[in-house]
Chain A
Amino acid sequence: MITSTCRNLTFETIEPWAGLKRAMELGQAGIIREVTDSGIKGRGGAGFPAGVKWNLCAAAKDPLKYIICNADEGEPGTFKDRVILTDFADLVFEGMIIAAMAIKATEGILYLRGEYTYLREGLEAQLLALRVNKKLGENACGVKGFDFNIKIRMGSGAYVCGEETALIESLEGHRGEPRNRPPYPVNTGFNGHSTAVNNVESLAWISCILSKGSKWFSQHGTEKSTGLKLFSVSGDCDKPGVYELPLGITVAELLVEVGGSNAKAVQIGGASGRCVPAIEFDRKIAYEDIPTGGSVIVFGPGRDMLDVAQNFLEFMVEESCGQCTPCRYGNPTLLEGVQMLREGRCSAGYLKELVSLGETIQIASKCGLGQSSANAFLSIVKHFKEEIMGRAIGDA
């Protein structure tokens, strides 16, 4: 049994710096092969294969390259990166050094969520120790010509800055707004240079992969979603906390673990994720079925699903960067609809319009935030229509 107080995480069992040692033996191509073979996909939620990303970065002809660790953990209900940065930050830094070797990066940046400012002092101390131990700096890790340093930059509280191109804009001193893609950060990233942006957990796992081998990692999970994953579990369950579980686990199995078996629905993937009703608890948490960055919020039998929809939409309205029309104006329109539903003023016809609008937001918005901003609303309307329409006066 794993709970927040008793984690038993793989990270605790990893021999420090074993991954780096192996990475140095493998060399650039070897590291990328190992990461690719492990099948690890981005742990932040987008699920882009890390090996492919590093390969693209390594191939970019750019004398200046960056590895950015995305520690802007802002998804509602996620707190696993905080745990990693509190207890296993060296694994993350190790992962960044490995990444730098793989893509030939000259500088690493840890983009730390504004709300995690209290972690900064400790992390700076750890980085200083790494510099003293020559793991960072000129000829880092004793590799001649490998000059690599890591610095910490603070986020300022915008959820959208977790989106990698908005994160880069923010690092450059601009408004945190997502860029057009293409060009992708692997080619045109921070200050126009080739940049790999990896999630905190991804980098920690990569240290483990290098240490224990890609086969060890890929034996867990499913074919398309290999490995173990940390889950931040909260809500109406007996044992909330951080869990390490293999991908591919069903919602029902997860609920047994956390003591939430009587749940009516589970929100997987935070505000940008989707709401899974009890009838679909046999579905898998995996990139090919229900993808997630790790946020699991359990809704017990007493929860009002309209409240849930409203809560997530209020979050999206607040956090939309305001750049593109569908996200900027679409989400407030949906939220207005929720209020109409609450007051019994939303006709079935208008609800249909709103669902159609939600589908537009999903495919027409500029960035990942916008594209997923209507997910929660749409899944709740789909699965709990009776409950939320219960208050409606209906069509005349």
Chain B
Amino acid sequence: MSEKSIFENISRAPTSQRASEIEAGPKGAIGGTVSVTIDGEKMKVPLGTTILEACREMGVHIPTLCHHEDLCIAGVCRMCLVEVEGMRTLQASCAYPITAPISIRTHTAKVRRARRHIIDLMLKYHYGECYACGRNNNCELQSLAKEYGVDYFRFGHPEKPMYEIDRSSHSVVRDMNKCVLCRRCVRTCIDLQEVGVLEAIHRGEKTIISTYLNKPLGKVVCINCGQCINRCPTGALRANDPTDEVWAAIDDPSKHVIIQTAPSPRAGIGECFGLEPGTPMTYQMNTALRRCGFDKVFDTNFTADLTIIEEGSELLIRLYKALVEKDESVALPQFTSCSPGWVKYLEHFYPEMIPNLSTAKSPQQMFGAVIKTYYAKMHNIDPKNIVTVALMPCSAKKFECNRPEMCDSGFKDVDYGLTTRELGKMISEAGIDLPAMPKSDFDDPFGTATGSGVIFGATGGVMESALRTVIELVVGCKVEDLFDHADIMPVRGFDGIRYVELKIDNVGPVPSIVSHLVPNWDWLKGATLKVAVAHGTANAKKVLDDIKAGGKFSECHFIEFMACPGGCLGGGGQPIPTTPEIRAKRAEAIYAEDSACEVRKSHENPAILQIYNEFLMEGPCGHLSHKLLHTSYTARGKYIS
């Protein structure tokens, strides 16, 4: 159910950088093929194919740096230059659409010399040594230097840093000394995410990537999604790394160190150890975490299930108020709130729509609050000695756990947010070969999670989980009666925006878990539930603008938003690189884990039922739930002081 055709918004990126100008034009409009000769070999390609695409199709390697599959074309690094017969200058193959038969040479003396010069020039301005860099062995500049046999600095190399490192953000660290001005971050921020925090300033060799008035990243409208980190070819952008603090907590015998692990890192961490993307490492990782010294290893999926119950109950309350009590002050559609990048995006760019945001905390923050209250009480541990670490695919989670309101347990609910990459580093540092680890399960009492929790990692996952539960609670039938294997396919996939309608023909009795919220379901009989899914804040923007304009999304009841393209599996804390293909493979791993789960619906999770019996005794959205599991938001606006 693609919404692409409805929304042909004009991108804010400069015309020259919009991929559509080159790709959609000749390719779609005229059709047909054109012949191209690459290093003497002839082939036919669709009209408008770029030289780079043609070369890749033929298996000819062309080095690139500013080019990225997710981004519009820049043509600025000039690494991908090739010689086109009849042209005086070399052409950037990424930016050259083939519209007439041409002959290309990819490694002539001129081409080789130019590429080598470009690397030499970048190294002349790139401060730092590879062995003292977080991107050592995972750096595109380093790879190019190796590929072109760089063994000395032809034009010199900086001995001193030129720029101060910006560590002002909880999430993203910017080190302009390592920047090669490929502008992937600029394009990611403005094009992919429509946030627009980063742009080039100054000219010539003084050019740098900057924020508004060169203010610290922590002070501007950055949403912390970290998509720029995932696309940075060097170490210029990285996440704010708390591993030293985490190790210190582990090493401190007085501390009870708990790690909760989100679903996406387990689908990605294998990449840090040379495994194919999409190789699940869930149970090997549990063992590795224990060997690293964590006292308990919990599954964030438990609170993902809790989120479904709380957020779903909140939705039912909103719907009841709106439909039965005719309360016009109720904000609908309800927006999901588990993606902290999305939440901050809304706070900055659409603060007037904060009432639509579910007050339910994200699974990470729910877990922190539950551990330092329920778990601490249950195990008789002083919560001040508990250190909670959250393994997340996300850089924004670092900001989220530092939000001042996230201390409902009486302590900082989550002490540290750790990315997949950072855990990979810790595991390596501990001398552990992750893929070789024996498998082990999560710790109790939160060990049992459901498939619903797992699929939170993929775009559409929260919606699918919510629908599985809502259908069963309201309709009273099995999801499987409506969707094979309870796989709600219409909300899956990578289309930027998806829209689904679900007619409620019959209603069942109100189950006890929500019986304190509504007397019956009669008011939902015959209703059509309208839901939507959007991932990447550029797509979120389209939906929000449509809602403001009174379009079809304003009729929705519930919308899932994820800041990152692909959802959490494409998060800013996941292994680098990221491509559509890699994200699709991670999604496969996530859906496979869901499919293998014994329990696949949040409301059937026995641990969830237990916590409502033992601890949150007023039920979902009850008093204690509100105190520990719900939160409030800040209307930040776009204006920077």
Contacts and interface: CB of A to CB of B under 8 A. Distances in A.
Contacts of A371: 89
B203 A188 contact: no
Interface in B112-149: 113-114, 117-118, 121-122, 124-125
B174 interface: no
A22 to B, nearest CB: 36
B22 A363 contact: no
Contacts of B568: none
Interface SS majority for chain B = mixed
Interface string A172-201: 101101011011000010011000000000
Contacts of A192: 15, 21
Contacts of B252: none
Contacts of B99: 182
Nearest to A354: B155
Given A180-B95, A324-B77, A360-B114, A333 B121 contact: yes
Contacts of B75: 180, 324, 366
B73 interface: yes
Contact of A363 (B77, B110, B205): B110
B16 interface: yes
A325 B204 contact: no
Nearest to B206: A322
A359 B111 CA distance: 11
B160 interface: no
Given A322-B200, A333-B124, A356-B113, A328 B205 contact: yes
Given A179-B16, A328-B207, A363 B114 contact: yes
B92 interface: yes
Contacts of A179: 14-16
B493 interface: no
A244 interface: no
Interface in A129-184: 158, 160, 165, 168-169, 172, 174-175, 177, 179-180, 182-183
Interface string B11-35: 0001110000110010000000000
Interface in B56-82: 73, 75-79, 81
A319 B204 CA distance: 7
A179 B110 CA distance: 23
Nearest to A318: B204
Contact of B202 (A188, A322, A330): A322
B114 A326 contact: yes
Given A158-B203, A329-B122, A169 B77 contact: no
Contacts of A332: 204-205
A159 to B, nearest CB: 9
Contacts of A362: 89
Contact of A323 (B22, B76, B79): B76
B117 A328 contact: no
Contacts of A325: 76-79, 118, 121-122, 180-181
Contact of A188 (B21, B117, B155, B207): B21
B46 interface: no
Interface in A326-346: 326, 328-333
Contacts of B503: none
Contacts of B203: 158, 160, 318-322
B379 interface: no
A191 B206 contact: no
A338 B468 CA distance: 72
A317 interface: yes
B88 interface: yes
Nearest to B14: A174
A364 B89 contact: yes
B97 A182 contact: yes
Contacts, number: 127
Nearest to B202: A322
B154 A365 contact: no
A332 B124 CA distance: 11
A180 B204 contact: no
B21 A183 contact: yes
Nearest to B208: A322
Nearest to B83: A363
A353 interface: yes
B25 A317 contact: no
A357 interface: yes
A363 to B, nearest CB: 5
Contacts of B202: 322
B105 to A, nearest CB: 13
B78 A169 contact: no
B90 interface: yes
A324 B183 CA distance: 10
Nearest to B113: A360
Interface in A237-266: none
B349 interface: no
B149 to A, nearest CB: 16
A363 B97 contact: no
Contacts of B92: 180, 366
A322 B207 contact: yes
A253 to B, nearest CB: 28
Interface string B139-177: 000000000000000110000000000000000000000
Contact of A329 (B81, B110, B124): B124
Interface string B341-366: 00000000000000000000000000
B206 A324 contact: no
Contacts of B121: 325-326, 329-330, 333
Contact of A326 (B22, B73, B118, B124): B118
A175 B210 CA distance: 13
Interface in B424-478: none
B96 interface: yes
B207 A183 contact: no
A329 B156 CA distance: 12
A2 B25 CA distance: 51
B117 A326 contact: yes
Interface of B: 14-16, 21-22, 25, 73, 75-79, 81, 88-90, 92, 95-97, 99, 110, 113-114, 117-118, 121-122, 124-125, 154-155, 180-181, 199-200, 202-207
Given A324-B77, A363-B114, 11 more contacts: A169-B14, A179-B14, A192-B15, A322-B203, A322-B206, A323-B200, A325-B76, A328-B205, A332-B204, A353-B154, A356-B117
21 contacts: A165-B16, A179-B16, A180-B92, A321-B207, A322-B200, A322-B206, A325-B181, A326-B78, A326-B117, A326-B118, A328-B205, A328-B207, A329-B121, A329-B124, A329-B125, A353-B154, A353-B155, A357-B117, A360-B117, A363-B110, A365-B78
Query: Which 7 interchain pairs have the tightest Cβ spacing?
Result: A322-B207, A179-B16, A329-B121, A180-B95, A320-B204, A364-B114, A180-B75
